[in-house]
C-alpha cells in the first residue's frame, strides 16, 4: 500500500493485453497491479504479468476461499476483496498472503479487527459516502489504514491521499479496458505516481 499512491484496478478480457499493460504501468511508476477476478483471462493474466520486471501482481475481486486458492496458485502476491466474510478472512490469514478486504461500515471494520486485520479497502468509496464517510468511519479506528476504491479519479485522488489514514487509492482510470496504448498508459501512470499527499 505504500509502494505507490495509486493501485491500478485492472480488468483483462484478452490475455494478449496483460504484459503490455503491466509493462506500461510499471514504467510509469505504478508497480502494484490488482488484476480483478472478473474475467476468464484473469488467472492467466496474473501469471503473465508476474514475469514483468518490477511488477507486484495480486488478485482483486476475490470473494471466497476457492477463488483465493486459485489466485495463490496463479502466483498472486496479494489479495483484494470487495467485502469481508469470516470464512474468506480466515482463509486469507491462514495462507499468509497480504490481504486487503473491503469495508463500507463500522461493523465491517470491527469484523476485520476481530480477525487481526488493520488495513482495509474502503469500497465502493464514492457510493458509500465519499471522503466525509471515511473520515467519520476512521475516527474511532485510529489503528486502521485504508485504500479507497470505487469512483475515484485523477481529479479527486489528491483529496483522499491528503487524509492521513489513506495510504493509497485504487483506480481504474490508469488502466483503460481494451488493447493498451503504451504511451497513453505510461503517461497516465506517471501522472498518478506523482500524486503525493
Instruction: Enter the C-alpha cell of residue 188.
Output: 497516465
Enumerate the active-site residues. 34, 121
- Asked if residue 97 lies in contact with residue 69, where contact means CB atoms within 8 angstroms, the answer is no
DSSP structure string for 144-161? -EEEEBSS--TTTHHHHH
Distances (CA, A) of 27 to 48, 93, 178: 16, 32, 19
Q: In terms of residues, how long is the chain?
A: 197
CA atoms within 13 A on the CB side of 87: 8
Gap between the Cα atoms of 5 and 197, Å rounded: 9
Amino acid at each position: 500500500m505504500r509502494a505507490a499512491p495509486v493501485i491500478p484496478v485492472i480488468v483483462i478480457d484478452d490475455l494478449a493485453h496483460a504484459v503490455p499493460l503491466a509493462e506500461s504501468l510499471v514504467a510509469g511508476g505504478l508497480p502494484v497491479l490488482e488484476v480483478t477476478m472478473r474475467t476468464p483471462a484473469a488467472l492467466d493474466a496474473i501469471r503473465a504479468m508476474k514475469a514483468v520486471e518490477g511488477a507486484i501482481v495480486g488478485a482483486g475481486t476475490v470473494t471466497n476461499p476457492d477463488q483465493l486458492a486459485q489466485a495463490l496458485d496463479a502466483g498472486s502476491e496479494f489479495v483484494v476483496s470487495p467485502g469481508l466474510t469470516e470464512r474468506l478472512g480466515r482463509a486469507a490469514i491462514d495462507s499468509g498472503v497480504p490481504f486487503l478486504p473491503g469495508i463500507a461500515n463500522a461493523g465491517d471494520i470491527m469484523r476485520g479487527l476481530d480477525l487481526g486485520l488493520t488495513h482495509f479497502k474502503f469500497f465502493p468509496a464514492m457510493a458509500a459516502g465519499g471522503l466525509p464517510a471515511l473520515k467519520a468511519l476512521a475516527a474511532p479506528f485510529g489503528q486502521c489504514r485504508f485504500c479507497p476504491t470505487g469512483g475515484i479519479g485523477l481529479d479527486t485522488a489528491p483529496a483522499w491521499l491528503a487524509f492521513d489514514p489513506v495510504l493509497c487509492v485504487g483506480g481504474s482510470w490508469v488502466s483503460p479496458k481494451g488493447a493498451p496504448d503504451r504511451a497513453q498508459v505510461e503517461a497516465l501512470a506517471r501522472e498518478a505516481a506523482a500524486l503525493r499527499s
